[in-house]
Amino acid sequence: MSYIFTALILFIPVNAYAYIDPSTGSIVLQFLIAGLVTGLFVVKQFWFNIKSMFQRIFGAKPDNEP
């Protein structure tokens, strides 16, 4: 899915001669990307917690938090 998304934005050339404050585009995009990656992050955290629990049970050193 993400590769289709990537392919769609690849073939259109981009020119941004951004002399006037370009941060609006960055902020708008930030919300979009954060929306896309939050689900993945939640799953990652869930697996991390499960793994840490087993590592604690078996006495192994837990990994760093994602």
**Residue ranges in contact with another protein by CB under 8 A:** 2-3, 5-7, 9-10, 12-18, 20-38, 40-42, 44, 66
Q: Is 40 left (phi over 0), alpha (psi -120 to 50) or beta?
A: alpha
Q: Which is nearer to another protein, 26 or 55 (CB)?
A: 26
22 contact partners, CB below 8 Å, separation of at least 6: 16
- The least CB distance from residue 11 to another protein, in Å, is 10
Query: Quick one: 12 or 57, whose CB is closer to another protein?
Result: 12
